[in-house]
Amino acid sequence: MDALELWVDRGSGTFVFLAIDSEPDYPDTAPLPATGGLWKYKGINRLHDDQVGQWSDILEVPVAAP
C-alpha cells in the first residue's frame, strides 16, 4: 500500500475527508471543541491513488475541551 485515506466525524454524524497520509502517526490538527465531544475516525488503504480493501473499524476518541 502507498498510503492511508483518513475520514473523520467530529460529532456531526457524517464522515468527511481528513487526509491521505503516507507516514505513520498522522496528527489531527483541528481545533478542540469548546465543550468536548466524541470524534470518530476510519481509514482505507490506497494503492496508486485508488482505494484498496475494506474500510477499517471506526475508532472513537473522546475529546476534552481545551
What residues does each domain of the chain span? Answer: 3-63
d(CA 48, CA 65): 38
Q: What is the mean pLDDT of residues 26-48?
A: 95
For 15, 17, 43, the CA distances from 54, given in Å and listed in that order, are 16, 16, 9
**27 confidence band (pLDDT: 50, 70, 90):** very high
What confidence score (pLDDT) does residue 65 get?
86
Task: Return mean pLDDT, the chain.
Answer: 95
Q: How confident is the model at residue 50 (pLDDT cuts 50, 70, 90)?
A: very high
Segment 39-54 mean pLDDT: 97
Which residues, 6+ apart, have CB-to-CB distance to 64 below 8 Å?
32, 36
- pLDDT, position 66: 80
